[in-house]
Amino acid sequence: MRVMVTGGAGYVGSVSVERLVAAGHDVLVLDDLSTGHGGSVPAGVRLVRASFGDPDDVARAMAEHGTEAVLHCAAKSLVGESVTNPAKYYRANVVGGVMLLEAMRRRGVRRLVFSSTAAVYGTPEMTPITEDAPLRPINPYGETKRAFEAALAWYGAAYGLRSVCLRYFNVAGASEMHGEVHAPETHLIPNVLLAAAGGPALNLFGDDYPTPDGTCIRDYIHVEDLADAHLLALEATALDDARTDSQLICNLGNGGGFSVREVLEAAERVVGREIPHSIGPRRVGDPPVLVASAGRAGTVLGWQPTRPGIEEMIGSAWAWRGRHPAGYGE
Ligand code: UDP
């Protein structure tokens, strides 16, 4: 299949590109490199440096490539920034997303897999969270993802778009070739590993939550398991596949969780020494527990995570760091 991956030079996108290429697909990466890394695009995969929000550029790239399906990983994705600068998030994630859909309509491309997020749920009433839980995002990041999911449903009903929304929980780990490099880095595991490698000590955001050890619990999922789910979801968008006659939404998590302290302790076992850290105040907008019910991805997509261990996730990220001390060297 000829698949365009928006954000294919980013963390999740690059591992998905690797997986798609390994499965024999013809992949085109569309990325403006605002946060992605040109060096992450494998040799032999074409990179078009353009924004997914520019329908002329996107339609041209699609025509040259013969795109049949889109994996839409590109987005603005910093929760804190979304609160202080919502305009940036609405422009990119909603307006840009709709422009991508317009380019697809122009080209007659009707298959799309969307990188969505657990942030669409906000602070859940029940855990583990099922896909039918109410959507009450508590920040513009989650809100813009929710809005685009809804657009996909309406485009499906009116124009025959077939979409799968994958609501990621906490993505972690690395493949052989690709790992996580963000500037600034806000996520827990990269910050733990930065501290382990001699960077700033980890600031642990709050230990007075209503959880067994007082720190927040998250459902971490290995980025390679996520990439497997993308492949299965793309297959489910085939025009004769009843699973996407209407929009399909699946959570992606392991259905279990680890606290911030457990992640820190697992990382200490991986690196074989204590990791400098301090306890700071809570970070605004952090729900105490976010754990997925990922049964639907299993029953409908046939997806099973195969790397649920937190040490394996952290170990793969640590090994990748060791092999790429300068990230992608940009
Ligand atoms: N966290 C932390 N220190 C950090 C980064 C994150 O204590 O430097 C905590 C954060 O408060 C949350 C958990 O780690 O409880 C996971 O945060 P992350 O930003 O990785 O993912 P999120 O759950 O916000 O998507």
What is the residue extent of each domain of the chain? 2-171+221-251, 188-218+255-323
Ligand 1 pocket test, pick from 139, 260, 263, 279 with the greatest ligand atom count within 8 Å of Cβ, gives 260
Q: Is the C-beta atom of 204 inside 6 A of ligand 1?
A: yes
| First CA to last CA distance, the chain | 31
| Neighbouring-strand partners of residue 28 | 4, 46
Q: Which residues in 144-180 are b (16+ Cβ under 10 Å) and which e?
A: bbbbbbebbeebbeeeebbbbbbbbbbbbbbbeebbb
- pLDDT for res 284: 83
Residue 330 has pLDDT above 80, yes or no: no
Per-residue model confidence as pLDDT tens digits over 275-312: 999 999 999 878 899 999 999 999 999 999 999 999 99
Integer Cα distance of 41 and 330 in angstroms: 13
Question: What value does the mean pLDDT take over residues 220-231?
Answer: 98
Q: Active-site residue 328, yes or no?
A: no
Integer Cα distance of 124 and 93 in angstroms: 23
Q: Is the C-beta atom of 205 inside 6 A of ligand 1?
A: yes
Question: Three-state SS for 147?
Answer: helix
- pLDDT for res 167: 98
CB-based burial of residue 108 (10 Å sphere; 0-12 exposed, 13-18 middle, 19+ buried)? exposed
Q: Is the C-beta atom of 211 inside 6 A of ligand 1?
A: no
- pLDDT for res 10: 97
Structure tokens at 86: 């919502």
- pLDDT for res 185: 87
Q: Is the C-beta atom of 218 inside 6 A of ligand 1?
A: yes
Catalytic site residue from 141, 155, 168, 209: 141
Which CATH class, in words, describes the domain spanning 188-218+255-323?
alpha beta
Of the candidates 143, 47, 31, the residue with the CA atom closest to the CA atom of residue 87: 143
Per-residue model confidence as pLDDT tens digits over 170-225: 999 999 999 998 888 899 999 999 999 999 999 999 999 999 999 999 999 999 99
pLDDT bucket at 77, cuts 50 / 70 / 90: very high
* Fold annotation for 2-171+221-251: Rossmann fold (3.40.50)
* Cis, peptide link before residue 128, omega less than 30° from 0: yes
- On average, the pLDDT of the chain sits at 96
